[in-house]
Amino acid sequence: MTTQITTAPNRQEIKSLFEKQRVHQFVVARTTARGRIQKLQKLKSAILERRQAIRDAVYADFKKPAAEADLTEIYAITTEIKHTARHLKKWMSRHSVGTPLPFLGSSSWVQYEPKGVCLIIAPWNFPLQLAIGPLVSAIAAGNTAIVKPSEHTPHTSAVVREIVEAVFEPEEVAVVEGAVETASELLKLPFNHIFFTGAPAIGKIVMRAAAEHLASVTLELGGKSPTIVDETADLKAAVRRIAWGKFLNSGQICIAPDYLFVHESRKDEFVRLMAAQLKALYGEDAAQSGAYNRMVNGKHFERVAGYLKDAEERGAVVEIGGRQDPETDFIEPTLVSSVPDDADLMQEEIFGPVLPIRTFRDLSEPLQVINEKEKPLALYIYSKNERNIKRIIQETRAGGTCINNNDVHFMQPNLPFGGSNNSGIGKSHGWYGFEAFSNARAIYRQHLPGALEVLMPPYTDFKQRLIDLTLKWF
């Protein structure tokens, strides 16, 4: 394989790479479904061949356990590839549409074509999955792509680069490493589509840059994803699933439960069960557990520790956990109650292993709090009451929702994944990812003289009567 550009490339190197992909895009666009599937299979093989290297890299970056790396980094991608390969031929085929009576003598269809040269900017929390996952859709749609992994996970970024270089020439897919300056240089270029995963504040910067070139965007952002546990919920199941979904990856998940409402009649039992569940997951001391992550770096440790300190100073009560070790960026799985509305824990996306819990008597109470905030990326409901479930869904807005579970909708390949407004723009995964990286091209073909030709000028009384009939009946 041709050697790609060096780490932290300069402006000219980035521009040169972009130009190569811009020229080559039409070659890639002509590839068949079979050809694209072969590329995806090679990509899957390159990932599986480096399974241990991936494990080692994410552990070096933030102590991610091997099993977690297998499930959340590798399996998430390989299943996406399998699903895409299974359906790609159908997705690429022409999608015929109906022919209304005034258009008799014609046929119409939608043909999905590549958008062109794409930029994928990946975050650090799932550094392999969220770099390669969108790339699967970009390849399936027939695009060229530049992938910018996170500088906060350098070991994994190096593996991402190695995987891509093993499968693709740089004029088709390339990895560009670097920090903020590199991302800024990339955003100056006239990409056809930009796929960004990260914080809403940075998403706004990406969108402004895209607007300069009228590039389309997919923004997978975040926000405060609420969870409601009502009085009818299966509490044991709820606690088990919430504990896993919240404290996986030390809470550094954009769809993790961010704050929780539990009915006041179940609060004490919820706390008791959660304490027992955390011991079952991570033992008496999570710091000694081989199944528990660390914060990715000192900056993010200090951020989450600061949120917790702010809440305690405002009267919040630590129900479970709270221990910290700045030398290892460790924060214990933590439950906090009595958190005031103006505390950072209730205002900012936590993105760490701290879960504020609040009680409610009437369902209108959590609904009001949720609707006063930006639309979340996810909303979770634990209930056996169908009326409550229906009401919550009808009276809230969210990118996605799980009923009696959390986080797992991300892995369902037939569902769209993405947010709404502040939590994201556009959808990904499966068909929705293919669609995001494609242009739906409308194609109309005339076979016989069309009925509408009768209505062309000059406009006689007879034609006016036909127009009147058309307005009335068609």
Residues annotated as catalytic are 220, 254
CB count, 10 Å around CB of 280? 10
CA distance 135 to 139: 6
255 contacts 405 by C-beta, under 8 angstroms: no
Is cis: bond before 257, omega within 30 of 0? no
How far out from the chain centre does Cα 43 lie? Answer: 20
DSSP SS3 for 403: strand
454 contacts 463 by C-beta, under 8 angstroms: yes
Token reading at 349: 């996306």
DSSP SS3 for 28: helix
Q: Answer positive or negative: Cα dihedral of 324, 330, 334, 338.
A: positive
CA distance 39 to 59: 28
109 contacts 137 by C-beta, under 8 angstroms: no
DSSP 8-state code for residue 464: H
Element (H, E) at 238: helix 235-247
Instruction: Work out the angle at residue 124's Cα, subtended by the Cα atoms of residues 311 and 322, and round it to the nearest 5 degrees.
Output: 25
| φ and ψ at residue 459, rounded to 5 degrees | -85, 95
DSSP SS3 for 227: strand
Token reading at 158: 């190096």
DSSP 8-state code for residue 5: P
CA distance 417 to 45: 25
Token reading at 270: 């919820």
CA dihedral 308, 309, 310, 315 (to 10 degrees): 90
376 contacts 370 by C-beta, under 8 angstroms: yes
Contacts of 70 (CB under 8 A, 6+ apart): 51, 55
CA distance 234 to 228: 12
Name the residue with tokens 């022919």: 99
CA distance 185 to 172: 19
76 contacts 420 by C-beta, under 8 angstroms: no
Question: Among 227, 182, 255, which Cα is nearest to 17's?
Answer: 182
